[in-house]
């Protein structure tokens, strides 16, 4: 008998549902929320309201595209956290209600685990997946973590950000430049046209494998401030591409430096990346070059699996379902936690 998992993701501002059958992805539907752009960031109350409007049609579309009847589902996997509590409550409540109605179990998924396990999403039987153990560099708007993955349920954080995450550095610096939210994709686009050696921004000297991006952000801000004070009010406008390219290469250098230290300390032969920043073109190319240079196997996810999506929730839930790790109905969402 087939194992069919419905995954539901609602941790931030994307409502997503996906269906996985015996480990293979059948559908992955994502509804994004454009309402936050005018505010320069996600507004939690608006996000939760949009989830309430989107979750029924998104789940229906996922089942329809997968060609699966809801009565054939084995379990429902949902993101329990971390994330925005209001948004998480929508997905959690929907999963519980649907589970009770269909009399099937629910499986709670850690959002960060989902990003790590996105590399195990397969569309075909022969799709390659990482071999354990491997290092995953998880980089997003809220997290920058180096994770040693020994198994789907055995992960150790080797290093994490002590202040801003890499995605925050992209977005906040983009906001200073007057770019729309989210700023990361705009920085990526502009960087392709700029000179990455034009400006030099501060790099942190944090011991161990932890990250820090607050100093870089301050250095970026001071560079612009000093230029404007010196009598160049159009500095940003005239140097947009070079600022973006220099910022991007600095962030990437910081990320790769600690990744290299983690690889040498652990001796792993496989490296994976995940999270929203792993969609960045420069970062993807840098990781691929690093792994080629050091004879490592690189796993770089499809861009659709870098942002918040239910396919990663469904695959994480699939493995937990096989181990009979079900969730109780009195479980509540959580806003913050490490892997």
Distance of CA 14 to the CA centre of its chain: 12
Give the helix/strand (H/E) hosting 94.
Answer: helix 85-102
Give the span between the Cα atoms of 337 and 23, in whole angstroms: 27
Candidates 1, 85, 101, 137; CA nearest to 332 is 85
What is the pLDDT at residue 181?
A: 83
CB atoms within 10 A of CB 53: 13
pLDDT at 336 over 90: no
First vs last Cα of the chain: how many Å apart?
32
Q: pLDDT tens digits for 265-283?
A: 999 999 999 999 999 999 9
Q: Which two structure tokens, joined as six digits, stand for 161?
A: 């950000």
Spell out the SS3 assignment of 211-242. Answer: ECCHHHHHHHHHHHHHHHHCCCCCHHHHCHHH
pLDDT, the chain, mean = 94
**Parallel, antiparallel, or unpaired for β 4-9 and 14-21?**
antiparallel
Share of the chain above pLDDT 90, in %: 88
Mean of the pLDDT values across residues 15-26? 97
Spell out the SS3 assignment of 102-171. Answer: HCCCEEEEEHHHHHHHHHHCECCCCCCCCCCCEEEEEECCCCEEEEEEEECCEEEEEEEECCCCHHHHHH
pLDDT category at 43 given cuts 50, 70, 90 is confident
What is the pLDDT at residue 297?
A: 98
pLDDT at 33 over 90: no
| Contact in structure between 308 and 16 (CB atoms under 8 Å) | yes
User: How far is CA 284 from each of CA 21, 214, 260, 293, rounded to the nearest angstrom?
Assistant: 29, 23, 15, 14
| Contact in structure between 316 and 23 (CB atoms under 8 Å) | no
pLDDT at 35 over 90: no
Give the helix/strand (H/E) hosting 59.
Answer: helix 44-66
Give the span between the Cα atoms of 163 and 212, in whole angstroms: 6
Mean of the pLDDT values across residues 60-84? 97
Give the span between the Cα atoms of 125 and 21, in whole angstroms: 11
Mean of the pLDDT values across residues 300-312? 95
| Contact in structure between 150 and 133 (CB atoms under 8 Å) | yes
Lowest mean pLDDT among 61-75, 90-104, 288-302, 325-339: 325-339
Candidates 321, 338, 312; CA nearest to 156 is 338
What is the pLDDT at residue 149?
A: 98
pLDDT at 339 over 60: no
Question: What are the residues whose beta carbons fall under 8 Å from the beta carbon of 53, sequence distance 6 or more?
Answer: none
Give the span between the Cα atoms of 277 and 81, in whole angstroms: 19
């Amino acid at each position: 008998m087939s194992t069919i998992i419905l995954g539901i993701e609602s941790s931030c501002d994307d409502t997503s549902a996906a269906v996985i059958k015996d480990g293979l992805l059948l559908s992955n539907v994502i509804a994004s929320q454009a309402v936050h752009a005018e505010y320069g960031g996600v507004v939690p109350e608006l996000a939760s309201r949009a989830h309430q409007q989107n979750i029924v049609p998104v789940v229906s579309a996922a089942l329809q595209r997968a060609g699966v009847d809801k009565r054939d589902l084995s379990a429902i996997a949902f993101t329990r956290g971390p994330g925005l509590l209001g948004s998480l409550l929508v997905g959690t409540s929907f999963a519980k209600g649907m589970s009770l109605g269909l009399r099937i179990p629910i499986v709670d998924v850690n959002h960060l685990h989902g990003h790590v396990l996105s590399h195990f999403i397969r569309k075909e039987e022969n799709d390659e997946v990482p071999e354990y153990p491997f290092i995953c560099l998880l980089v997003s708007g809220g997290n920058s973590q180096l994770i040693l993955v020994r198994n789907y349920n055995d992960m150790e954080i080797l290093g994490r950000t002590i202040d801003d995450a890499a995605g925050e550095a992209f977005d906040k610096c983009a906001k200073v430049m007057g770019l729309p939210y989210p700023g990361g994709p705009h920085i990526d686009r502009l960087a392709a046209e700029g000179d990455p050696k034009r400006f030099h921004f501060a790099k942190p000297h944090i011991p161990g494998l932890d990250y820090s991006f607050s100093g870089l952000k301050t250095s970026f801000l001071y560079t612009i401030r000093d230029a404007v004070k010196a009598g160049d009010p159009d500095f940003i406008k005239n140097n947009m591409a070079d600022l973006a390219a220099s910022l991007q290469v600095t962030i990437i250098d910081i990320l790769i430096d600690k990744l290299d230290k983690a690889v040498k300390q652990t001796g792993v032969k496989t490296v994976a990346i995940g999270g929203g920043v792993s969609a960045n073109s420069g970062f993807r190319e840098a990781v691929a070059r690093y792994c080629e240079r050091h004879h490592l196997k690189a796993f770089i996810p499809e861009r659709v699996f870098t942002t918040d999506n239910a396919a990663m929730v469904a695959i994480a839930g699939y493995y937990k379902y096989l181990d009979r790790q079900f969730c109780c109905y009195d479980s509540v969402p959580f806003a913050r936690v490490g892997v």
